[in-house]
A = this chain, B = another copy of it.
């Protein structure tokens, strides 16, 4: 009998624990964040990823007491893996978890890591740490596997129960055990790979591919802009070829796409293998806000004698559409860059959940927002779509500008002709 424990109840851990609960499995949900635990106990997910209805009736045994973990024998680790301010992998929380697990491990226990890491991390870092603390031998006393999470926050169509799940074990016998355990709560196909490193590498590649493709669109946008060609029109035209991939330019933030490439870059550097392309993609995506800021300045300069003290509002602080998560959101880069250029910057986002932030910024509700010289639409929340181009223009002073990064109102009719609208 498997007694599951999910370590970390972020959006991945929560969905995993819910899948286990939904499949009538014994499941402990462990997290050190007491507030998160009490919210989940009341069926509230602050990430807005799971609804009250989806949480209702769950049987997850929520706890922050590591001693309770001794009741489990199959641990699924869903801990976030960010980078630090130098863009270097920060696996500190994951290492703490390894120490916690090391202190509760018993004979025959299985641990499966689901956190995105660079290929090699599980075997080079986590296993030695588990062995050191537990004084048990991995592969003899306890067993380790890896199964990358593939959840896209806000994506209702693809869940843990219907997305093929890659699984890997430290050896063939462990893989068999993991396969049996996951089959209990994953309804979709289990895809076995021959080693943990291959599974780690597959996950990182998925996200790097997305990063690189968006970076290409961002780089191309900067060229098109200099040529006075509409990138949206170019994309429409190119999109009529059967094999063209419909990526769009945009701000790449969040805890996955904008972070995972740095894990691979870090590891590759240690191996003395060049990753110039992956590096370039990151650089292009990180710098795209500079292009946007400069575009705003150069356009407003044609309408106003000077740009300092003009009011500009950034619409959207979360890292993507319809989510509350603001981790690595490039909107904050926009705040800094526009403030530096002398604008009075305000932010407006009905969803974004921010407790504290290293950057000072003013935030107002849409209703309280005074008229502005410019809006930068950074995120295409449905709320902004609802306000509509007319609603936004109502809050725009004469000769104002709308800079629409996601192209939310591309080809919409403007209610006044003094307004400058720009989209990629």
Contacts of A163 in B (CB 8 A): 241-242
Residues A264 and B166 in contact in the complex (CB < 8 Å), given A198-B233, A212-B216, A277-B280: no
Contact, CB under 8 Å: A238 / B202:
yes
For the complex, is A108 an interface residue (Cβ under 8 Å from B)?
Answer: no
What is the chain B residue whose CB lies nearest that of A188? B240
Contacts of A210 in B (CB 8 A): 243
For the complex, is A215 an interface residue (Cβ under 8 Å from B)?
Answer: yes
Is the interface on chain A under 10, 10 to 19, 20 to 34, or 35 or more residues?
35 or more
Complex Cα gap A137–B88 (Å): 60
Contacts of A216 in B (CB 8 A): 208-209, 212, 277-278
- Proximity bits, A177-194, B CB within 8 Å = 1, else 0: 000000000000101011
Contact, CB under 8 Å: B241 / A164:
yes
| Interface hit among A6-14, A268-276, A358-366 | A268-276
- Proximity bits, A128-162, B CB within 8 Å = 1, else 0: 00000000000000000000001000000010000
For chain A residues 262-292, which have a beta carbon within 8 Å of chain B? Answer: 264, 267-268, 271-281, 283-284
The distance from the CB of A175 to the nearest CB of chain B, in whole angstroms, is 13
Contact, CB under 8 Å: B237 / A193:
yes
Complex Cα gap A284–B208 (Å): 16
Complex Cα gap A222–B241 (Å): 31
Complex Cα gap A215–B150 (Å): 24
Contact, CB under 8 Å: B197 / A227:
yes
Residues A229 and B197 in contact in the complex (CB < 8 Å), given A166-B237, A234-B202, A244-B206: yes
For the complex, is A219 an interface residue (Cβ under 8 Å from B)?
Answer: yes
Residues A237 and B276 in contact in the complex (CB < 8 Å), given A209-B216, A212-B216: no
What is the chain B residue whose CB lies nearest that of A211? B216
For the complex, is A354 an interface residue (Cβ under 8 Å from B)?
Answer: no
Contact, CB under 8 Å: B164 / A219:
no
The distance from the CB of A215 to the nearest CB of chain B, in whole angstroms, is 5
Contacts of A213 in B (CB 8 A): 209, 212-213, 245
For the complex, is A119 an interface residue (Cβ under 8 Å from B)?
Answer: yes
The distance from the CB of A132 to the nearest CB of chain B, in whole angstroms, is 24
What is the chain B residue whose CB lies nearest that of A193? B237
Contact, CB under 8 Å: B281 / A277:
yes
For the complex, is A220 an interface residue (Cβ under 8 Å from B)?
Answer: yes
Excluding A199-B237, A212-B212, 5 further A-B contacts by CB distance (< 8 Å) are A163-B241, A164-B240, A198-B230, A202-B238, A212-B216
Chain A to chain B contacts (Cβ below 8 Å), 17 pairs: A119-B224, A119-B229, A158-B242, A163-B242, A166-B237, A193-B233, A198-B234, A201-B229, A201-B234, A202-B237, A206-B241, A209-B213, A213-B213, A216-B278, A223-B268, A277-B284, A280-B280
